[in-house]
Structure 1
Amino acid sequence: MTTKTPAQEITTLPDLIDHLKAAAQVELSTIPLYLYATYTIKTRGYSQWAAGASAQRTMLGVAIEEMLHLTLVRNLLIAVGDTSFRLYDKGVITTYPGPMLKREPELTLRLRKLSSEQVRNTFLQIELPSGPQGSALGQIEPYHSLGEFYARIERGIRTLRPTIDWGRAKKDLWKFQYHRAYWNQNGGSDHPLLVVDEASAIQAMQIIVDQGEGAPDDKGLLPDPIVRTDDHPPEEIGKWQASHYAKFSDIAKGLDGIGVVLDDNGKQKYTIDDSEVIWPVLDDPDLKTVAADQPVKDLMELSNAVYCYVLALLDAIYRTPMEALAPKSLDPFTKSVRYGYERAFIAAMQGLLYPVCDLLVRTPLVANQPVHAGPPFQYYAFTTKKPKAELAALCEKLLTEFPALGGDDGVQRQIALLPDIELP
């Protein structure tokens, strides 16, 4: 650990914006990791009590909260005056395997099935609680935990208090933030919030850190992975949910039906057979390593295109201001382009990304071989400014080989219902 010096602090607005962009990129890099692990759990069509169902609920909740964190950071960016950041950008989308952005010691992020090893070696390291407050950072690099990184941003906001106008110079800037949507019924009660002043900015960062590593203890030192208990009133339930670090610790201990199960003394009791719970997927799937004559390669390409469409749709949301409410005689939602994009984002996550990825993890990479495919979460370069038609064409050519993509409630139908967004 290096010694903190004034030069290591955020002292200019451009430096603060750079840190927030880096934070958004870090949050985005974790989402495919957690979704990939979630998609590898065998629960579709199984009983809700099937082995792995608990882990799937936990993982899905964590992934959705990471989406919330990404949204909060982007709201912060807009609040301090930057509207240039884009998710659908080759330089922003993470390549796997690859190092976690600006982290020290270096942590390699890899797309792998859910396992005790992946949870211990990667997920717990991502959500690792920070040390005592005041641990040092240097420029944007290195940071040693996300808690430290966000603490530095918080100090920067307080330092720049006279400089940040919180959108007052552009009075309608808040309309470009994202705050209406379904978020996390599998976890806590926090939701996207508008960042309009210093207090709401600090609150946004506290949500991110508390959900990830846990809230600080009474002395403001080490995070405490507090766990919800039955003797707390319902209105307090958001305060008492377990942090991501605590949830991953439970999975690593085998408490959610995955991997090695430990006794109270930390000794191995038994190991759950992966083949019963987890699909045998490829590590770090990559289109470049799949033979051109394998039909699954086109399905992997479709998954990349769907993932990038979802990111482009989020960008469209942030480019489109919230409209003033329509007169009471009109429906304020169906008349709103912005609200249509927001609904489409949720529909695309549930009705496009999930079924395509689920089909991939169920499909052998090569026919009659034990290793299955998986979604690469790679950058897909749309060839037109309107990606919807390109998505439809990619899906159309796969229907013969993968008929599950069709049907009244299939992926093809869901694509037809998407808004025809235009890329900048």
Structure 2
Amino acid sequence: MVDHDNSLSVLGRRAYLKGASVAALGGLAGCTGGGDGGSGGGDGTEGGEGSSYDKVFATAETLENDYWSAFAEGYGTAADAWGLEHDIQANDADTSNMLSQFDSAVRGGADSVVGTASDDSGVPSLADAAGGEGVPFVEMWAMGKWYTPLDAGEHFVQYNIPEPVRTGGLTARILFEAMGGEGNFVHVTGMQGTVGANGRNMGVEEAMKDYPDVERLGDPLPGDWNRQKSRESMQSFVSRFGDEIDGVYAQNDTEAQGVLTVCQEHDLNVPIVGYDGTQETAKEIQNQPEDGSRIVATFTAHPAWQAGWAIAKTYDWHNGWRPDTPERMMFTGGSLVVNDPSKWKDTLDHDRFVKPQTYLDSVFGSGDPPYDWKKMSVVESGEDAFDPQNKLVPIRKSDFFQLLWTEENKPNGYSLPDEYDDSDAFDEVEQTYADRWSDPYA
């Protein structure tokens, strides 16, 4: 295991600036519950007494689409529920920009950082910066190669992501079914160098094995998560393949929207799938024509939930709770937004489907997101009563391929922490979360 600045033994200079209330956390790990400080840490403090948590900072790749707008809404609503000041900034996929924003946020009083780093390689930089300042950090989506929260230190509270390979394969399977199980598709990829994009690429490859009569035309072209780049790539596909195209796999909804406009301009009447669950895409799914260019499905990780869950966990951390090793890297649940959920429940190995209108009302309606933020907290609700309100499953060694960790790309001299060999501990945490969560969209 790599020692990143001995973060386990260093609280960080910011903690000392918080005065006696932070000092009351004592030796940090000594305040925790059973094991290495997991859910048993619910006894740390009660009702937030003694908490030094006043302000949270969030970082995101962009704030220019519905996905991150929904994240920002959940982030603000959850922070308000905890009485926290909050700030969110776009890092524009630039690590230097991200670290500069973080430094400014901490100097401005931020007590935690949540969100997604600039890219996979930016995660260790942000984790080390958080550790140096003694503030807890929750990361989603991006993740460094062979880099675990245990390597970073206890300030790296949790990494979470929907299963990138499996969920990427789910939308591919819906596309192939919409194509009638045969024909040709083109593939617009996401931002390369991220777990989400590369994992979805692998999911497409896995799905293709089950559909021998489906072929991909040409090599995938980049969309980089944005509409204009996706339009350019789709224009290239149309110029090259024209009417040979029977479907389009886009790796997020912004890309799907860009692809859709090109298909409409060229009267290319094909199904398209996306990923993220933006408002615009859900409406396109709901109103899709019988024929013609159409978006038929998207997967959503419920961004408002992601934000609120991260705040709940950093709140717990500030109140003495420490997660067990299996809780520190977890796959999260999500929903497939489709017009006919009953059709897909018998076809796909997935547990959550939602109609577009139900999804739009719940996520983009006039009310707040449908979550009880404080029920997510072990400290507030107790070890036996907290409710994540989403599926969470520990990421095991056998799952590392979904993070694109292979023996070939393991750094020389790196040794995985021994805790990842304790299958009983992973089984226990998986069962606890399975027992605890309820579905607010059910």
The alignment's TM-score, normalised by the length of structure 2, stands at: 0.25
Larger fraction in strand: 2
